[in-house]
Amino acid sequence: MSDLNKNTLYSDVVICGGALAGMTLALAFIKNGFNVVMVDPKTVKDLINFDKRTTAIAEGAKNFYDSIGVWKKVKKFAEPIKIIKIKDGSSKIDLNFDCKQFEDNTNVDSLGYVLENVHLLKQINSTIEGYRNKEGLIKRIKARVVSIDSNNLNSKVILSNKMEISSSLVVACDGKHSIARNMMNIGTKSYSYKQEAFVCTILHEKRHDNIALEKFLPGGPLAILPMKKYKNMYRSSVIWSDGREVSKSRYNSSMNNTSNIESEIEDHCKDWLGKVKVDNFKALFPLELTMPKSMIENRFILIGDSAHSIHPIAGQGFNLTIRDIKSFVEECHKRKSLGLDIGSKIFLKNFERKRILDITSLVRSTHILNKLFENNGLSVKFFRRLGLSAVSRSKTIKKIFMKYAMGI
């Protein structure tokens, strides 16, 4: 990475967006010897102070973070998920996935992990900082992207601070409302679920026993995920998807008095978790499906939510992003080792074809799952519960579902 002109940087890759996906991608690239410039109007400190959410990390994503030197640093903050319970409203039929079902022939001892984003951000950044002392591998710039211009030779990115970056490739990691994607005139197809997710952290009197609950209710799914204890207090993360007005009402009410939402949550888990108390963190997120008409342009690719923003019903959105990152960096490394151009449109198009089946399969399955469980017609409910019962009795089918969800 050299400065031939004091206002111009030269780099292999420019990443537009320096949050969790962008930082993960940057670290994977520099681990493979690429020069990287990350551009984001927020600093890492801003992100750490702002992002109080949790992320469900599948086994495959954990293995990836291990390969780039992060997992050993965050493992102590990650709470394993041993059992996943799926309930259909008031039905007595439970679908249980237990990691013990793998003990006969694998080393898997959990179905996934729940990790606070703040710990991931800190430790990814710490690992990146270790590379800053190596000449020119990584640079983070606090600025906005003003324009992107790509040709057959390179891409030029102009920033709000008047700096120009010349690179072989530009990656958009700036979220589902991607500005970089719009600059490249890539259109999107969107579907609003007319739902919002109320997200909070709860403290509870009983142990969660490393159980994750997904309960399908008439308004939308309620997910309760186990978290690490904090100061000897049992904690879990709640993601409750429901109609917009209902979710907004829950959120507004919780900002003044948490007793109503605490009672609502207890109605679904009191026998399991006992009395609950909503902690300080509370947030509201609109839910929509957003897919670009293309993932690529000349010397440009979408990764993360800019490439696929899906319903959180199965907790798979970020794990899909990790699969994108892992696959893309591996392919770029192969190209580099052969002296080939990583910004070639033919290469990028071939990568898109390689990933599209996994992406569209997950997008469609989460969309269908949400539509299926929000339909409370008697016939739909009957066949839905019949299906849950059938899967519950089949160890083979359950293992297939678990392996896909775990990314192994």
Position 96 confidence tier, pLDDT thresholds 50, 70, 90: confident
From CA 307, how far away is CA 337, in angstroms rounded?
A: 27
pLDDT score for 315: 80
Q: How confident is the model at residue 121 (pLDDT cuts 50, 70, 90)?
A: very high
CA separation, residue 99 to residues 54, 170, 232, 315, 403 (Å) = 21, 40, 26, 17, 10
User: Residues 147-172: what's their mean pLDDT?
Assistant: 96
Residue 177's SS3 state is coil
Q: Measured between alpha carbons, how far is 176 from 19 in angstroms, rounded to an integer? A: 13
In angstroms, rounded to a whole number, what is the distance separating the alpha carbons of residues 75 and 363?
Answer: 29
377: its two tokens: 């017609």
Alpha carbon separation from 80 to 84, 113, 302, 320, 357 (Å, rounded): 11, 4, 30, 19, 29
Q: What is the pLDDT of residue 4?
A: 47
Q: Where are the beta strands (DSSP E) in 125-187?
A: 138-142, 145-150, 155-159, 164-172
- Summary mean pLDDT of the chain: 89
| 357 close to 320: Cβ distance less than 8 angstroms | no
DSSP secondary structure string for all residues of 284-310: EEEEEEEEES-SEETTEEE-GGGT-B-
pLDDT cut 90: percent of the chain above it: 71
Closest CA to 316 of 216, 401, 394, 231: 401
Q: Which residue has the tokens 């320096």?
A: 18
**Separation CA 26–CA 13 (nearest Å):** 9
Q: Is the pLDDT of residue 130 over 50?
A: yes
Summarize the confidence of residues 369-387 as an average pLDDT.
60
Residue 199 half-sphere exposure toward CB, CA atoms < 13 A: 16
Mean pLDDT across the stretch 276-302? Answer: 94
Higher per-residue pLDDT: 54 or 88: 54
- 3.20.20.150, 3.50.50.60, 3.40.50.620, 3.40.50.300: which CATH number matches 8-79+117-190+289-371? 3.50.50.60
Phi-psi region of 53 (alpha: psi -120 to 50; beta: other; left: phi over 0): beta
Name the percent of the chain in helix, strand, coil, to the closest 5.
40, 30, 25
| Whole-number Å distance between alpha carbons of 219 and 375 | 10
CA separation for the pair 4, 2 (Å, rounded): 6
pLDDT at residue 73 tops 60: yes
Q: For residues 180 and 145, what is the distance between their CA atoms, to the nearest angstrom?
A: 7
Q: Which of 102-106, 192-196, 282-286, 349-353 has the lowest mean pLDDT?
A: 102-106
Q: In this structure, are residues 401 and 314 in contact, taking their beta carbons and an 8 Å threshold?
A: no
Amino acid identity of residue 223, one-letter, is A
Among the residue ranges 58-62, 174-178, 340-344, 378-382, the one predicted with the least confidence is: 378-382
Helix residue ranges, H only, 17-170: 20-31, 44-50, 59-67, 71-74, 117-132
Q: Is the pLDDT of residue 378 over 60?
A: no
- Segment 97-124 shows an average pLDDT of 84
Q: Band of the pLDDT at 403, cuts 50, 70, 90?
A: low
Rounded to whole angstroms, what are the CA distances from 178 to 172, 204, 232?
7, 38, 40
Res 56 pLDDT > 50: yes
pLDDT at 28 exceeding the cut of 70: yes
What is the rounded CA–CA span in Å between residue 155 and residue 148? 7
- CA count, 13 A, side-chain hemisphere, 396: 0
pLDDT digits (tens, 9 = 90+) for 318-364: 999 999 999 999 999 999 999 999 999 999 999 999 999 999 988 88
Average pLDDT for residues 206-228, to the nearest whole number? 93
What confidence score (pLDDT) does residue 280 get? 85
**381 vs 359: CA distance, rounded Å:** 28
> Does residue 187 register a pLDDT over 70?
yes
Q: Residue 2 has what pLDDT?
A: 47
pLDDT of residue 216: 86
The residue extents of the domains of the chain are: 8-79+117-190+289-371
Work out the number of other CB atoms within 10 angstroms of the CB of residue 236: 27
Q: Is the pLDDT of residue 1 over 70?
A: no
Question: How far is residue 124's CA from residue 26's CA, in Å, rounded to a whole number?
Answer: 10
What is the secondary structure of 326-370 as a DSSP string?
A: HHHHHHHHHHHHTT--TT-HHHHHHHHHHHHHHHHHHHHHHHHHH
Choose among 95, 362, 384: nearest CA to 218.
384
